Amino acid sequence: MAVNGTGVRGPLVVLDPTDESAPDARTAIARPASLDGLRVGLLDISKPRGDVFLDRLAELLAERGVTVRRYAKPTFTKPMPPDLRREITTECDVVIEALAD
């Protein structure tokens, strides 16, 4: 039981913000053994300080000679636009996404 916004005790209701009434089945793919020769995409989902993390990561990867491409979602509150998803898919072999606050 939880106290709702009116101060009355009642059942706790949890809402799913993704609106996935029937989630897609997803399977994880194997991680590459090395980033040598791969194009790495760094995706900023536009949460505060995600860019700080990705800036440093880009520096570290560049020091190792890894090809890095940067991308940013317009907002973290909505799914990635299909055109951005296509761009990343065609230009990158792996993607690292920053989830920061």
Q: What is the mean pLDDT of the segment spanning 73-81?
A: 89
Per-residue model confidence as pLDDT tens digits over 16-57: 666 666 666 777 788 899 999 999 999 999 888 888 899 999
Tokens in use for 87?
A: 């761009």
Q: Name residue, tokens 């009116």.
A: 6
pLDDT band at 66 (very low <50, low <70, confident <90, very high): very high
**pLDDT given at position 1:** 47
- Residue 65 scores a pLDDT above 90: yes
CA–CA distance, 46 with 69 (Å, rounded to integer): 16
Return the sign of the alpha-carbon dihedral for residues 73, 84, 69, 32: positive
Domains in the chain, ordered, with CATH? 38-101 (3.40.50.10860)
